[in-house]
Amino acid sequence: MVERRTVNPYVTGSSPVGGAKFLFLMLLFIFNIFYYLFFDEIRLMTKIITSIKIRRPDDCHVHFRDGNILKLIVPYTSKFFGRAIIMPNLIKPIISINQAISYRKRIIRAIPSEHLFTPLMTFYLTDMSETKIIEDGFNQKVFIACKLYLNKVTTNSKYGVSNITNLYPVFSTMERIGMPLLIHGEVTNNNIDIFDREAYFIDQIMEPIRNNFPNLKIVFEHITTKEAVQYILSNNENIVATITPQHLMFNRNHMLVNGIKPHLYCLPILKSNIHRTALREAITTDCKRFFLGTDTAPHTQNKKESACGCAGIFNAPTALAAYATVFNEMNAMENFEAFCSLNGAKFYGLPVNNGFIELKRKKIIFNNKISKDKNNLIPFLLHKNIKWEINVI
């Protein structure tokens, strides 16, 4: 007689087929639990944003230059931005009220009639700056802020400050009247490596200013390092920072490896990837003290592509698309409007702009060289897919 044995297919080892079935059912059970517990979180993390509408943004750091280049480039900022903080480092810097009024008029004449745009002017600080001119200009709403360049730190900074303590009376007045100080934060000592100059600036210049004038409102402009990010996060609401699209998108390898890319050369210079990562992580926080400042800074093609090329990136035509790309990559689109349109306005005590812009995700190869007469400009991300179409609504 043949002995019959009952096989339980759900007990591992009863048979190869039964063991496999048991393992499959257990994996299915675990997957179902995981799916129901975590699906919403996974869906949110991997959600693809195809369009976003935000308040019309502000650009809190713009170089319009002057003359024919000014006329050529102003529309690329005024088309989408409601306001911009205009840098005063012209060949003849803005050091008087009348100069600022005249420069503002030249900018306004270059704005297309259909664009709703307001330029906000700044005062160029020198060792000889007088508090009365600064206070009068601020009270008359000619100047929104003062700009600090150390001597020879960047383009058109030869009239910049050589001894920071010379400006302590000015800083005292600015602290009293609530006028912001905008700082290009790099030291100029030739013995300090160019990649370390921002970090040294914090210790040697920024900290003494903050210690002596704790209520002075400061914008640490175009920050590029993890040290600067940590400094902003560790301080109070009186110090804020702008971040450029190029420092969010690229590191120094992009500029230097496999041939020098002169159109990625700017000051402060692009840093290593650890610093770029710190900037990208900063924009994902709820901190309201980081905001948009493109530092768009045009130079003609022949001055960029030369044996001694100029520092500056003309990013106005593609900056908003670049920012949107980074925020989307960081799954931080919920912070995009605040960074572009709210945080800067709040710091400067300005109302939020009227109107909106809409960004739609779309493949767009940006092939527009910008030229007029002998002024040839190479925009940021030329011949690249900028990934977003932008319209005023």
The reply to whether 295 belongs to the active site is: yes
Are the CB atoms for 182 and 85 separated by under 8 Å? yes
- Average pLDDT rounded to a whole number, residues 33-41: 45
Catalytic residue among 40, 59, 136, 295: 295
Tell me: pLDDT of 95 over 70.
yes
Position 23 scores a pLDDT of 63
| Domains of the chain and CATH, by start | 51-392 (3.20.20.140)
Residue 346 gets the label, from left (phi > 0), alpha (psi -120 to 50) or beta, of alpha
For the stretch 124-165, pLDDT in tens is 999 999 999 999 999 999 999 999 999 999 999 999 999 999
The pair of three-digit structure tokens given for residue 361, joined into one six-digit string = 């995700």
Q: φ and ψ at 61, to 5 degrees?
A: -165, 100
Are the CB atoms for 304 and 378 separated by under 8 Å? yes
- List, edge to edge, every strand of the sheet that includes 51-55: 51-55, 356-361, 388-392
- Average pLDDT rounded to a whole number, residues 7-16: 46
For the stretch 257-311, pLDDT in tens is 999 999 999 999 999 999 999 999 999 988 999 999 999 999 999 999 999 999 9
CA–CA distance, 296 with 72 (Å, rounded to integer): 13
Q: φ and ψ at 147, to 5 degrees?
A: -110, 130
Nearest Cα to Cα of residue 287 among 222, 330, 240: 240
The pair of three-digit structure tokens given for residue 307, joined into one six-digit string = 């044996």
Q: What is the pTM of this model?
A: 0.88
